A = this chain, B = another copy of it.
Amino acid sequence: MLRCPICGREYEDHGKMRCDCGEPLEFEPFRGRTHTGKSVWERFREFLPVEPDLNLSLGEGDTPLVKSRLGKELGVRLYLKNETTNPTWSFKDRGTFLGILAAIRFGYRNVGTVSTGNMAASVAAYAARAGLKAHILVPSSIAPEKVRQIAVYAPWIIKVEGPYGELYYKSLEAGEKEGIYFINSDNPFRIEGYKTISFEIAEEMSPDYVIVPTSSGGLIRGIIKGFLELRNSGLVEELPTFIAVQAEGCSPIHRAFIEGKNRVERFKNPHTVAHAIENPYPPSGNAVLKLLRETGGFTAAVNDREILKAREELACEGLFVQPASATGIAAVKRLVEEGKIEKGSKVVSVLTGSGLKTLPATGPGKVRGCRLEELEDCLKTTGG
């Protein structure tokens, strides 16, 4: 059963994606027990809306939870959930896997998505894996190197002229008519896939705070749903505090939250280095506001300078992420200073996607040059 998290209406048709009121639908909470198994799909199979056919898996999930050195400086125990080690190097793969299984169950031979980055590559890859045709809708202004990261999986790439924000809704309409199952940012099955991040965190520890870079809102909805289901099933005692982080240059959810509103408004003139979370009118925005209020969570926004600094600091402990992923760390620093995250607490931040997807345009780093026979002398200047 799908239910609207805003108006409560229910739908038997699992292929439906949005409520007639306009909000994203989601599966009723699951309850279950855990099982033994190598993959999170096996261990938490009772919590899934579809049988996880591992023949179509690429090995997504079961990512490392790495303790960060930065926590020590800040006086918290900081852990990083490293989603950059997924098969297409972002968290999207967890949701795409279930979305593809849904498409197959509903009898589709064609799938699609609206994305210029992580989700586009992920849907193209999993469609290829399953032998489905993929249709990736991108804005006509997309940069050529972004196209290349999608094109390698040989999908159809459709460059659409016109307001990109409307493409999300238009794609659902067109998909219904043309027989294409769109696995967009907050497709109900996608949210169910993201839940598994919470399951894996809970297997290893009980966080006090979980910090999630937030764009469309699909990821944090999945993560909150996961912890709620664990609590309802008696598998964890308490919920962590959830924090949705946005870039100041595009922070419609944060703005609505601090202004006490129930509905997000379109963010005008978005501009941030964190392109992966630059959605000015997030389709799950209202649902995120409600979930944060119900669970005692809150929002934060960080500026580009903080984001780029956090990205560098993460690289300096061996984790190279895309700018959007660094927003969580930037937020932890600010929130600890402001006293909104308590000292000594356990904090998890989600690293959403690989830095290789957006190589920094910064300088070449610390470089020296020498001839082979001068190597020892050169190492004297860089060494010990």
Shortest Cβ distance from A196 into chain B, in angstroms? 15
What is the size, in residues, of chain A's interface with B at 8 Å between Cβ atoms? 92
| CB pair B88 A320 closer than 8 Å | yes
| CB pair B383 A133 closer than 8 Å | yes
Chain B residues positioned under 8 Å from A258 (CB to CB): none
The verdict on A344 contacting chain B, using a C-beta distance below 8 Å, is no
Contact of A384 (CB < 8 Å), options: B109, B128, B315: B109
| CB pair A125 B318 closer than 8 Å | yes
Q: Quick check: which of A24-32, A156-164, A220-228, A249-257 contacts chain B, the rest being far away?
A: A156-164
Chain B residues positioned under 8 Å from A57 (CB to CB): 64, 66
Known A-B contacts A371-B161, A383-B180; A364 and B144 likewise in contact (beta carbons under 8 Å): yes
Rounded to whole angstroms, the CA-CA distance of A317 and B368 in the bound complex is: 42
The verdict on A178 contacting chain B, using a C-beta distance below 8 Å, is yes
Rounded to whole angstroms, the CA-CA distance of A89 and B152 in the bound complex is: 17
Rounded to whole angstroms, the CA-CA distance of A109 and B373 in the bound complex is: 24
Known A-B contacts A62-B62, A365-B147; A376 and B318 likewise in contact (beta carbons under 8 Å): no
Chain B residues positioned under 8 Å from A128 (CB to CB): 315-318
The verdict on A340 contacting chain B, using a C-beta distance below 8 Å, is no
Max chain B C-beta neighbours (<10 A), residue from A112, A131, A152, A163: A152
Known A-B contacts A170-B375, A179-B384, A384-B110; A155 and B355 likewise in contact (beta carbons under 8 Å): no
Rounded to whole angstroms, the CA-CA distance of A150 and B363 in the bound complex is: 12
Closest to A96 in B: B318
Shortest Cβ distance from A114 into chain B, in angstroms? 10
Q: Quick check: which of A6-14, A79-87, A206-214, A327-335 contacts chain B, the rest being far away?
A: A79-87
| CB pair A64 B55 closer than 8 Å | no
The verdict on A359 contacting chain B, using a C-beta distance below 8 Å, is yes
Given contacts A154-B366, A173-B376, 14 further A-B contacts (CB under 8 A): A85-B86, A110-B383, A110-B384, A129-B318, A147-B365, A147-B367, A148-B364, A151-B364, A154-B312, A156-B382, A158-B367, A159-B368, A167-B375, A178-B379
Binding site for B on A (CB under 8 A): 55, 57-59, 62-67, 69, 82, 84-89, 109-110, 112, 125-126, 128-129, 131, 133, 135, 137, 140, 144-145, 147-163, 166-167, 170-171, 173-175, 177-180, 312, 315-320, 354-357, 359-360, 363-373, 375-376, 378-380, 382-384
Could you list some 20 contacts between A and B, CB below 8 A? A57-B66, A58-B82, A82-B87, A87-B318, A89-B356, A125-B318, A125-B320, A126-B318, A128-B316, A147-B367, A153-B320, A156-B366, A157-B367, A157-B368, A161-B369, A170-B372, A171-B375, A174-B379, A178-B383, A354-B354
Q: Which 9 A-B pairs have the closest CB atoms?
A: A59-B64, A151-B365, A162-B372, A129-B318, A125-B318, A356-B356, A156-B382, A159-B369, A178-B379
